[in-house]
Structure 1
Amino acid sequence: MKMSDVAKLANVSAATVSRVLSNPEKVSLETRERVLDVINKVNYKPHIVARQFRTQETKIILVVVPDITSAFFAKVLRGIEHVALKNGYQVILGDTENDVERENSYIDLLLQKQVDGMVLLTAKIDKNKLEELSNEFPLVLACEYVDGLNVPTVSIDNISSARKATEHLIQLGHTKIAHITGPMSVILSRDRLKGYKQAMISHDLEIEPSYIQEADRTFESSYNQTLKLLSLATPPTGIFVFNDEMAMGTIKAAKDSGLTVPDDLAVVGFDNIKMATVFEPNLTTIDQPKFAIGQKAMELLLQLINGEPMKKKKFVMKDELIIRDSTKGE
C-alpha cells in the first residue's frame, strides 16, 4: 500500500496525505478524518527511510539511561514519552548499564543522524565532547548534569535536598548520622555528600569519616555497607542513603542485626519510588518530580529540534521531603 493508494481511496492528493502525517494542523478536520480513516482501514505505514530522505527527519528520539531496571528512571521515561508521542515522535531507549563506552556508542546514533535528538539521563562521557555535540545536535541532560556545561539541563538541587534529608534526622535528635553514598564518580553522589556535610557542619556535629561509606546504587551494596556501619564501636543512630533501593537494603541489614527501624536506627532514602510506600516500614525520602522532569526535558528537546530560541537552559525542579515510618514511630 503506497501513499498514492491512500490518496486515491480518500479522494485527495498524495500531498494532502503527506500533510496529514507530518503537519495535520494544516489540513481541515473533515479531510484529516477522512484520510486517517483510510489509513486505519488499510493499515498504511509510511516508509520511514523515504521520509528521512525527503525531510531529513526521523521523528525518533533517543533516551539514554544508566540503568533500565531502576524504578526512578521508568517514571522519568514516562514523562518524556508523554510529550514525545503528543508531538508525533517515537522514543527508543539505550541502556548503558553505567558503562561509558556504551554511552559513547549510543551517541554515534545521533552523529549518524539516525535520531532527531537525544535526552541523556546519564552524563559520564567527556565534558568537552558533550559541549561539541550539543553545538551540532539537539541534546538535553536530565537528572544528571555537568558543572559548567552550557547544555539545557533539568534536575533538582541535589545539595539542598540532601541537606534537607540530613537535617530531618538532626531535628529528630540524632547526632551520630551516617551517609551511604552512590558511586563517587557520579556528580549526584558528590553533591548529596556535600549536602550531608553542610547539614552536619551547620549544626556543629562532627563528620566521622567512618560514617561515610560508598556503595553502587544497589540494595545489596547498601546492605553490606550498613552492616559495616553497625559493627563500629559507636554505630550511627541515623543513616541518610543515596537512593530508596539502597535505603531498603539498609533497613534489611538493620532488621537482620536485631534492630528496629526507626527506634534503634532511623533511615532516610532519596527519589520516592513506588516501593517506598510498600516496603516496611514505609520509607522517609526526598521526592523528585520524576514525571515532570521527563516532560520538561522533552519540551526543551523539541525547542532545540524546532530551532526555537531558549532564554533559559538550567531548570531546577522542586523536591520535597516525604516523612514516613522509617524516621518516626507510631
Structure 2
Amino acid sequence: MPVRPNLKDIAQRAGVSTATVSRALSGSNLIAEATVDRIRAVADEFGYRPNVKARNFRTQKAMAVLIVVRDIGNPFYLEIFKGVERIARQAGYSVLMANTEGDEEREVEYFEMLSDGLADGMILMTGAVPETIRHRKGGCGNVVVALEMVEELTVPQILIDNEAAAFEAVNHLIALGHTRIAHIAGPIPEGMSLRRRKGYRLAMQRASLEIPDGYECQGSFNMQNGERCARALLDIEPRPTALFAASDEMAFGAIRHAYKRGLSVPRDLSVIGFDNIAFSEAFLPSLTTISQPRLDIGERAMSVLLDVINGKAVSGDPTVLPTELIVRESTAVPNPDHN
C-alpha cells in the first residue's frame, strides 16, 4: 500500500514549516499568497487529501456549510454556488445545497442543522428568516445573507441594489421612446420583489409616465408566471409596448406568449429581464437584462462566512455589489404603427 502523504512531506518539499502548510491549506489569510500557491501546488502534486475525521475531531467543526435557496431548480443559483464552492474548497469545507421551496418548517430544520453542529455556517439566499429562529437566542449565529436583504437582521449581507438596477432597466426602455411600460413583478410582499417594483415605479414617475390600472402583474420567478402575466397585460388597452420582468425566466415566458399571439419581439413588444442567466444570450431574441455578479456574490459571501466562523471581526454594513445593464436583441424603439 502506498504511504499517504502528510503535512510534513508537503512542508519539506515546499521549504516551509508544517504549521505554515496547515495554515495555508485551512484558508488562513496570514500566509503570503505566493507561498499559499506554492504549498497548494505541492499538495496537488502529492495528491494530498486531509484526514477529515481527525481534523474535524481536533477542530470540533463539521467542515461543511449550507447554502439555503428557495428553489434549487432555478439555474440562477448555479454561478453563485460555483463561487461559494471555489472559496470553500480552498479552506477545506464542503458545501451543502438546501432547498426550501418556501416551506417554513424546512427553513427551521436547516437552521437547526446549524445549531446542532451539522454545519459550521450558512449562506442564506431566501430573503427571510423564520420568526421562531429570529427570536431564538443565537439563532442566526454564523449566518451570512446573500442576494436578498433580510431587514432588521444584524448579520453580514452581500447584496445588489435591486431598486437602482430596476430603475436602470426601465430607463433603458424610456430612452428608446417607450411610454407604455408594464411590469411583471416577483412575489409580493417579498423584499426583493418590492424593491424591483419600486425601481420601476420611480423610473416611470421621474419620466412623468402614467402606470395604468392593470399594468403591474405579480407572480413567481418562473417562466409559467411570466407567460400568465403577459397574457393578462397584453389584453389591456392601450396595450403596453414594453415589459420589464423581474427575472429572466419570467421574461422568457412573456416572449413565449407574445409569439403565441403573433407578436414580434422587439418589433411589436420590447422585453427586458433581470439576472442575466446563461440562457439569456442564447435565447431568441437574445435577452436584454440586468446582470448580477453572481460568481463574485458567491465568493464574497463564502469569504465573509469563513471570517465569521473563525471569529474575526466583520463589518455590520451590507456589501453592495454593482450590476450592469446588458443590451441585446429583445429591446428596440417602439413600432410607430402601435402608438
Q: What TM bracket, shorter-length normalisation?
A: 0.7 to 0.9
Q: Between Structure 1 and Structure 2, how many residues are aligned?
A: 323
Label 1:134 to 1:178 Cα distance change in 2 as closer, same or farther (>3 A).
farther
Partner of 2:319: 315
CA contact 1:6–1:38 (8 Å) conserved in 2: no
Higher helix share: 1
Partner of 2:337: none
Partner of 1:217: 221
Of residues 75, 79, 98, the one that matches 1:94 is 98
Partner of 2:336: none
**Cα drift, residue 233 of structure 1:** 2.5
TM-score by length of 1: 0.86
In the alignment, residue 261 of structure 2 is paired with which amino acid?
S
Partner of 1:174: 178
CA RMSD of aligned residues (A): 3.4
Partner of 2:146: 142
Q: Distance in 2 between matches of 1:213 and 1:190?
A: 12
Partner of 2:289: 285
SS in 1 for 2:214: helix
CA contact 2:156–2:315 (8 Å) conserved in 1: no
**Cα drift, residue 296 of structure 1:** 0.5
Partner of 1:107: 111
Q: Distance in 2 between matches of 1:144 and 1:276?
A: 22
Q: How does 1:201-280 map to 2 (within 5 A)?
A: 201-280=205-284
CA offsets 1:75-126 (integer angstroms, 9 cap, x no match)? 1111111111111111111111232221111111101011111111113223
Corresponding position: 1:46 with 2:51 = yes
Unpaired segments of 5 or more residues in structure 2?
12-16, 334-339
Unpaired segments of 5 or more residues in structure 1?
none
Label 1:154 to 1:133 Cα distance change in 2 as closer, same or farther (>3 A).
farther
CA offsets 1:220-239 (integer angstroms, 9 cap, x no match)? 11101101111112211110
In the alignment, residue 217 of structure 1 is paired with which amino acid?
F
Percent sequence identity over matched residues?
Answer: 38
Label 1:183 to 1:137 Cα distance change in 2 as closer, same or farther (>3 A).
same
SS in 2 for 1:119: strand
CA offsets 1:244-278 (integer angstroms, 9 cap, x no match)? 01101101111111111111111010000111101
Q: Distance in 1 between matches of 2:138 and 2:169?
A: 34
Of residues 295, 303, 307, the one that matches 2:307 is 303
Q: Which moved more, 1:128-137 or 1:82-91?
A: 128-137
**Cα drift, residue 51 of structure 1:** 3.9
CA contact 1:76–1:291 (8 Å) conserved in 2: yes
CA offsets 1:189-210 (integer angstroms, 9 cap, x no match)? 1110110010111111112230
Corresponding position: 1:122 with 2:138 = no
Label 1:316 to 1:145 Cα distance change in 2 as closer, same or farther (>3 A).
same
Label 1:108 to 1:135 Cα distance change in 2 as closer, same or farther (>3 A).
closer
SS in 2 for 1:291: helix
Q: Distance in 1 between matches of 2:44 and 2:82?
A: 28
Q: Distance in 2 between matches of 1:133 and 1:254?
A: 51
